[in-house]
Each structure stands twice: as C-alpha cells, then as structure tokens.
Amino acid sequence: MTTWWLEQTSPSDLFPARAPDAAAGLAVARAEVASPEFSRFLYTAVGGDVAWTDRLPWSHARWLAHLDRTGVETWVAWVRGTPAGFAELDGSEEGVVELAYFGLLPAFRGLGIGGHLLSVALTRAWDLGERLPSGTPTRRVWVHTCSLDGPHALANYRRRGLRLYDTTEAEQPPTASPGPWPGAFDPQ
C-alpha cells in the first residue's frame, strides 16, 4: 500500500474546480449539528467500497465526542436534496487543518462533484481559524490518501493545488471492504 501526504501552505495554493452545471441542483453546506448517526452514514456510504474501516467499531458516544471537538467540521455535498459526499475538517491543532475524510457516494462519482466539493472544503479549511475561539489563522492544510482510496483521489488533490511532501510504502494486506453495512457490498 502506498500512502501520499499532501499539503498547501497558503490559500493562494488553491486552484478551485469549475462548479458543475447549476442545473444539477448541487449545494455544499456545513452540518452544524453534531450527529453521530449522520456522520457514520456518510463515513460508511462513502468509504464502504474503499476499505474505510477504522471508525466502524466506534460507539455513538465516541462519534459524538469526536464531532463535538472544537475545530471539527463536516461539509456535505447535496444533489437535489440527497447527500452526495462529504469532507471532514479537523482543525484541532492550532493553525493546521487536516482534511481528515473526503469522498463521494458511489452514485455521484464521475460527475464533476468531487472537484467542486474539494474546492469548497479547502476554502473552508483556510478560513476555519476565523470560526475558532482562538481566531488563529490557518497556516497549513494537509491530507493523506492511499492506493486503497478511490482511483481519482490523488489526481483531484493535486489538481486543487495540494503538493506532495511525503510518500510511504507499507506491506499491508488490504482490509476487506464491508460496504456501507454488513453484506451490502458485492464487488461483482
């Protein structure tokens, strides 16, 4: 498994994607209420077929504690009232924002939504400090992705102006992808 570590060190590093056709009914909004049920839905619906498994054992209480942390924000892409994808920002380290999770539900991939959602998420990462009690400006935004993630993830990050700063290799067998719920994912 290859992991790529990418960053931006200035808001001017961002190269926004063109928004998809407005007729598609696309909107991106922050989920302002900490909802473990909704966040877990997004996590499993987006990551079920790309081996996101680290948060599957989390209890409701752990989800709530995570979402209630200062600096954690969830931004959701909606298409005609349907959640299409999300970005989770973690600005708990002063002046630094991690794009902790990012992705689209399978039905919405390949429609140009990912570039737009990533552009919005990075813009919100750069102004996240203004929403924090400390008011400390963001100095750095970073993300990591790996060869188990979607095939277009790395290219999308690079097109938006994130620069590679490290690459690691690990001999790790891939975790079986459970799908959004047990028994739901059939790769056939």
Distance of CA 7 to the CA centre of its chain: 14
Distance of CA 106 to the CA centre of its chain: 14
Pairing mode, if any, of strands 96-104 and 82-93? Answer: antiparallel
Measured N-to-C along each axis, helices 60-67 and 36-47 cross at an angle, to the nearest 10 degrees, of 100
> What percent of the chain shows pLDDT beyond 90?
77
The model's pLDDT over 13-22, given as tens digits with 9 standing for 90+, comes to 999 998 877 5
The domain ranges of the chain are 2-169
pLDDT confidence of 173, banded at 50, 70, 90? Answer: low
The model's pLDDT over 37-76, given as tens digits with 9 standing for 90+, comes to 999 999 999 998 888 889 999 999 999 999 999 999 999 9
Q: Determine the Cα–Cα distance for residues 150 and 144; give it in Å rounded to an integer.
A: 13
Q: Which residues contact 67 (CB under 8 A, 6 or more apart)?
A: 34, 35, 36, 39, 74
Q: Which residues contact 158 (CB under 8 A, 6 or more apart)?
A: 6, 164
Q: Which residues contact 170 (CB under 8 A, 6 or more apart)?
A: 1, 3
pLDDT confidence of 113, banded at 50, 70, 90? Answer: very high
The CATH number assigned to the domain with range 2-169 reads 3.40.630.30
Q: Which residues contact 49 (CB under 8 A, 6 or more apart)?
A: 106, 177, 179, 185, 187
Long-range pairs of 51-56 with CB within 8 A, sequence gap ≥ 24: 51/148, 51/174, 51/175, 51/176, 51/177, 52/101, 53/175, 53/177, 53/178, 56/178
pLDDT (average), residues 100-112: 93
pLDDT (average), residues 1-15: 96
pLDDT of residue 179: 59
Answer yes or no: are the C-beta atoms of 54 and 178 closer than 8 Å.
no
Tell me what the pLDDT averaged over the chain comes to.
90
Locus of tokens 């600005």:
91
User: In what side-by-side order are the strands of the sheet with 96-104?
Assistant: 26-31, 72-79, 82-93, 96-104, 140-146, 2-8, 163-169
The model's pLDDT over 126-140, given as tens digits with 9 standing for 90+, comes to 999 999 999 999 999
Answer yes or no: are the C-beta atoms of 83 and 31 closer than 8 Å.
no
The residue among 94 and 19 whose pLDDT is bigger is: 94
